[in-house]
Structure 1
Amino acid sequence: MKLSLQDIPRVKTISKQDFIKHYFKPQKPVVIQHFIEDWPAYSKWNLDYIKEIAGDIIVPLYDDRPVDYKDGFNEPHATMKMADYIDLLKREPTKYRIFLWNILKEIPQLQKDFKFPDFGLRLMKGIPMLFFGGEDSHTFMHYDIDLANIFHFHFEGKKQCILFDQKQNDYIYKIPHSLITREDINFKNPDFKKWPALKNAKGYITELNHGEILYMPEGYWHYMRYITPGFSMSLRAIARNPKNLSKAVYNIFVMRYFDNVMRRIKGQKWIDWKNEQAVTRTHAKNGFTL
């Protein structure tokens, strides 16, 4: 048995009007295949180019170890020179990833290689973020703290993306007071005996190739797996739905700080309780008595 996933629609290119009508307003994902071929980044951006211009920069690295109460919010698990990291990516599979790496702050000259496209949404121009990963590395299933509209531009190699909307929260073992699901779920090949509620979840799947854009609507859960080493850039626009916007404000100014305080007070017991509650609450909502 597999997850119930439909292919994300793909279009060669799209006008602002069609994007707003068919994808933004109904909050549906889409892959745009040929939109950035006039960008210098389309022909220049690969791992060798990043190594050339950013090789001496020390970068934060993350792997797929479970959350520990001692970890701060987005605290890296290791650091390495970008040149050494890219050598590692090309040499062998590695779980180390880079995420939320602000290219304007780290390598301002990269701004010359791309534009902020007009999809009818006001993009936040101060935070274009890069994400890197090695073969078969992956992110945990999560949604972004600000529930933004995300345009995810992929460069080099292939990347698998699995998405769920917020209506699937009752089925995917969401961790309370958090932005992630249970970290021990293998979304590539889930164990339905251990996680039976996943049978009821309905989501989306696609593979991104060099130069393609994935639009992820507000608050969409996403699991990203690098089929081959590569990297992506995300541009984002603030949530427009008032419910999502208020949830984003709550996450940023209340939930995040509450979780950090509880980690300091209760330590690992807080993490363990949240993990248990993800199962207890999900099974209760789905009528399972396990």
Structure 2
Amino acid sequence: VDLLKKEPTKYRIFLWNILKEVPALQKDYAFPDFGLRLLKGLPMLFFGGRDSYTFMHYDIDLANIFHFHFDGEKEVVLFPQSETKKLYKVPHSLITHESIDFSNPDYQKWPALRHANGFKTTLKHGEVLYMPEGFWHYMKYITPGFSMSLRALARNPKNLGKAFYNILIMRHYDVLMRKLKGQDWIDAKNSRAITDTNKNVAALDEN
């Protein structure tokens, strides 16, 4: 935490379950009522130093997420699943190509992003952001800060089915291929992300 507060850094603390790690807080904490059944065993904290960021990704379980920001400022970029074909998604994974800077994208290098329709905002102390199930999200700490995410399972049957596929099949297949092929598998996926997305954007340009 001292490092995160002191200077710009790539390091972060993420998925830290405060009620598990500091159980005494359980008696002082009440979950808000948002009309969704929150997963009360998973109140996760996220800490970051200035300029640290997450890759553009969506969560493996396609959960509904309420993201509370408590300190500092954080830039957020969101896309719905309908924009996936324009985001350079890496096959057999939940991320886009890692070379893309979504806070300042290079449209010459990543032309499909010109066609992507999303949302961008800056979170400040006391604000909460709702991310509907399956939304892609990229977050960058403008200043040191921390947030908490509360989650609720996907309610759309299609998304729930996709969540089970991600957890039970896709994740294990990707782990197996990484063990068998190593960096070659990663390079092949990154290359395909570019090829497939450029085909999609070519079709859009023709239309």
| 2:49 paired residue among 114, 134, 138 | 134
Q: Secondary structure at the match of 1:127?
A: coil
Deviations 1:188-243 (A, max 9, x none): 11111110000000000111111111000000000001111011000000000001
Structure 2 counterpart of 1:225, one-letter code: K
Deviations 1:46-71 (A, max 9, x none): xxxxxxxxxxxxxxxxxxxxxxxxxx
| Larger RCO of the pair (alpha carbons < 8 Å, separation 6+) | 2
C-alpha distance in structure 1 between counterparts of 2:187 and 2:28, whole Å: 45
Residues 104-115 of structure 1 correspond to what in structure 2 (within 5 A)?
Answer: 104-115=19-30
Aligned to 1:170: 85
TM-score computed with the length of structure 2 as normaliser = 0.95
Structure with larger Rg = 1
Moved more, 259-268 or 103-112: 103-112
| 1:182 paired residue among 86, 90, 97 | 97
Q: How many angstroms does 1:114 deviate by?
A: 3.3
C-alpha distance in structure 2 between counterparts of 1:111 and 1:171, whole Å: 42
Q: From the two aligned structures, give the one with the greater helix fraction.
A: 2
Aligned to 1:50: none
TM-score computed with the length of structure 1 as normaliser = 0.69
Identity %: 69
Structure 1 counterpart of 2:164, one-letter code: V
| 1:103 paired residue among 4, 11, 18 | 18
Residues 19-98 of structure 1 correspond to what in structure 2 (within 5 A)?
Answer: 86-98=1-13
Over the residues paired in the alignment, what is the CA RMSD in angstroms? 1.0
Residues 190-269 of structure 1 correspond to what in structure 2 (within 5 A)?
Answer: 190-269=105-184
Structure 2 counterpart of 1:279, one-letter code: I
Pair 1:282-2:197 in alignment: yes
Aligned length: 203
Structure 1 counterpart of 2:143, one-letter code: T
Aligned to 1:125: 40
Is there any run of 5+ residues in structure 2 with no aligned partner, and where?
Answer: none
